[in-house]
Structure 1
Amino acid sequence: MSIMGFPNQPFHFEKVLNELWPEILTWDVENFLSELKFPMTIRTGQKQSIFSQKESEVSTVASVTKTEFLRRFHSKICLHEWFYIDYKNAESVFTKDITDLLDWYKLNLPEAANYKDAAFWLGTAGAHTPCHFDTYGFNVVVQLKGHKRWKLFYPGHELTPTRLPFEETTVYSQVDVRRPCGKCFPSSKGLKMIVVDMREGDVLYVPKHWWHFVECIETAVNVNLWCPLPSDKIDQQKEALTKLLLRKFTLGSEESNLIHSSEIESFASNEQEEIELNFLSKSKKNLDPKTLQEEDAIVYKDFIEFLKRNLETNPNCKRLEPNIELKTSTDCCCLNDQLDKNPWKNVINSVLQNNVLEAALKNLVEIS
């Protein structure tokens, strides 16, 4: 446990949902598919690739009907392509209300965790999310069906972060965890990671700012909850400043790949820029990290007790330590990235480093 009492290491609970969420565990994959609202947008990628496929590099298919998805799902297309229904709001993606089946309160999570924001994921074998960390809150992941593998790294590990293409709340790694290049990214050599195999009924607690790469080993279904923290106020300041800086860098630029597709509408809005400016001007006060961490522990005191109690009494609950070395290639195995050719890439990433943002925020406080 951390000094403040809030866990700063991942926890893995095996089969804990058998008692806590028994009804939804009786559903099979076909049950989930039959209750999903279509049409919807999905992501697809190639199974044959030995490299991670960035979200900007895979295909996004809009308005997929249930008939079309089931045709893909049950055909030989699955032999060479993967499909991902991802980031869907668990409250609105189903044809009927299943909120009673997703009882987060039984995991001792307070209403402050925003149950309504839970996300639903269904992916076939090979579907994956590139290595990244989330800027806000901690993550509680519930595996409902199938097998999903998580690779986790300490927040302090040097995995060469990048904000490009920019997506609020997400910081991506330039290191391909599937096939890491020791020549281009020497700092990744010898890094230790945690590998967690999530199966039906398992729960995973991912602390704030932990790097993670996630892949479906077989068709898998899960829900997760990103739980907001009082200490997110500091990260919200940094994200607002990051967006303002990026607006200036990309003003008049035709380089659309600097911005993630999900952010294009926001960056085109002058009104949104005003909101960010107002937010920064109102939040210039110096936020004390220690005080905010104490608030984190107060808001989630019951969840902390839940983790401690299970660690002491439940043989299927484990606090995880990085113990597997990331194997890097001695030869360059990096794929060419169009962003590498963008002259703004290094400039923007250097300006958006954590220490630069902290210095800028400090100056905002001093001149207010």
Structure 2
Amino acid sequence: MDGHSLPSAEILKCALPKLQKPVLFRNMLRNCDGIYEWNLLKWSFSDLVEKFGDKQLSFRVGDYNKCTCALQHHCQRINPPTKSCKLTLREFSIATGDMTKERYDKWLYCDYKHMMEFNDKPEIIESLNWLKFGVDEEFGKNGLHSTIWIGSKGAHTDCHWDTYGYNLVAQIHGRKLWLLYPPSASLIPIRIPYEESTVYSKFNIYCMSMKERDLLLKIPDKPKLVILEPGDVLFVPNGWWHYVESLDNINVSVNLWGKLKTDNRARVEEALVKLMVTKMRNYKQFKNKIEYVVNECIKEEEQEKNEKTELSLEVPLKKFKPTIWTAEDLAEQYPDYIKVLHDAEEHEFKKFIEERMKRNKQYLLNEETASEDHVSNPQYDPFLESLINALCHPDVISKAAQILLEKHY
């Protein structure tokens, strides 16, 4: 098999759920003539504007140049507060068209938009599919189970890792910068702000402080930096930290979270986190949900044990050992399509940090205005936040889920 061969869907179906490192897919979405197979990639942004028509989307609006004092998702102390607005794609295009000056004032981000909300626009739903990546037919035959992300320069997703599935991300328009850290990196996991299946880092990478810079540079795990171009597809394994930022005025990407056998266990853990965060105010109502999720996890584990038993009975004379692919194996076998992400060079990472610290400097140079804009939430309780983050730490929740499953079910 030479480097010009395309990895088969069967190989990727086997490899991706077990892959431990991120990889970059290039040229996977083109046919032999070099033409994109997805209509979503064939369309210009103007085409996309026409196809979305008067459909209104919810955009978060943030300040591009100022320090926000907290994560963009975090509302307890934000300067200035992030706001939201409803815009059609045409209105978004006009708004970003005004951002032609060198110093940007605002960013706009329609993030985590489930494409099933576009059921009334079947042409958009059918404009992509993930079948080449070994995703099951019903789950990946179109964009129904995907999410779309539309933003302007500076729009970003705070550093976090996803508790469910692995992540496949296709870049459609513009460029997006990704910073990735392995699960072992000490990026201080927090659960406030709470979002199901999302474990945020305490680091505000978008607008970094000197203290955060010093702590990041001391982390022994090396980060990976990659810029996605249109047509690129990034695979992010479960548990990998990632921070994402739009580099261009108009940016569109789509993603799909592939299913893993560990997802049911992760849902038990997420149910425990939600129970803690809600401080058991709706415990009677929530109790039924957590019992359901636990039982589903038990069923999954029992089914897997039965499958292993049946397999051992069928082939008693030889051991069954599935092929385990590594990122390096795939890249060596399919060099025209798969690239291993290398650790960022020291000078490259320092430049990345310096660029984000400039936003902090711009904020500090205008301390008087910043002080006036500062918003403090009187209901904010720092001790309660620390307590929740401690009790909902991934290590604590994992142990609690293990005890719950072993001792009570």
TM tier relative to shorter chain: 0.7 to 0.9
User: Any idea what SS the aligned residue of 2:260 has?
Assistant: coil
8 A Cα contact 1:10 1:205, kept in partner: yes
For residue 371 of structure 2, what is the aligned residue in structure 1?
A: none
RMSD: 4.0
Where do 5+ consecutive residues of structure 2 fail to align? 1-11, 76-80, 309-321, 364-373
For residue 111 of structure 1, what is the aligned residue in structure 2?
A: 137
2:243 aligned with 1:226: no
For residue 81 of structure 1, what is the aligned residue in structure 2?
A: 106
| Aligned counterparts of 2:115 and 2:223: Cα–Cα separation in 1 | 30
Change (3 A) 1:121 1:285: closer
Deviation (angstroms), 1:76: 4.5
For residue 397 of structure 2, what is the aligned residue in structure 1?
A: 357
2:86 aligned with 1:69: no
Bigger mean CA deviation after superposition, 64-73 or 124-133: 64-73
8 A Cα contact 1:107 1:306, kept in partner: no
- Which of 60, 71, 93 is 1:43 aligned to? 60
**Percent identity of paired positions between Structure 1 and Structure 2:** 26
- Which has more radius of gyration? 2
Count of aligned pairs between the two proteins: 341
Q: TM-score, normalised by structure 2?
A: 0.71
Bigger mean CA deviation after superposition, 194-203 or 303-312: 303-312
For residue 318 of structure 2, what is the aligned residue in structure 1?
A: none
- Which of 240, 250, 256 is 2:271 aligned to? 240
The 5 Å alignment of 1:155-194 reads 155-181=183-209, 183=211, 187-191=215-219, 192-194=222-224
CA displacement 1:289-329 (0-9 Å, x = unmatched):
x98xx9xxxxxx99969995564133352112333455479
8 A Cα contact 2:150 2:251, kept in partner: yes
| Aligned counterparts of 1:182 and 1:214: Cα–Cα separation in 2 | 20
Deviation (angstroms), 1:109: 2.0
For residue 182 of structure 2, what is the aligned residue in structure 1?
A: 154
Deviation (angstroms), 1:236: 0.9
The 5 Å alignment of 1:1-368 reads 6-19=18-31, 21=37, 23-36=39-52, 38-49=55-66, 53-57=71-75, 59-65=82-88, 68-76=91-99, 79-93=104-118, 95-111=121-137, 113=139, 116-181=144-209, 183=211, 187-191=215-219, 192-218=222-248, 219-248=250-279, 251=281, 271-280=285-294, 283=297, 311-325=332-346, 327=350, 342-364=382-404, 365-368=406-409
Change (3 A) 1:77 1:271: farther
Where do 5+ consecutive residues of structure 1 fail to align? 252-267, 295-300
| Aligned counterparts of 2:98 and 2:381: Cα–Cα separation in 1 | 39
For residue 298 of structure 1, what is the aligned residue in structure 2?
A: none
8 A Cα contact 2:27 2:336, kept in partner: no
Q: TM-score, normalised by structure 1?
A: 0.78
Change (3 A) 1:49 1:304: farther
| Aligned counterparts of 1:70 and 1:95: Cα–Cα separation in 2 | 20
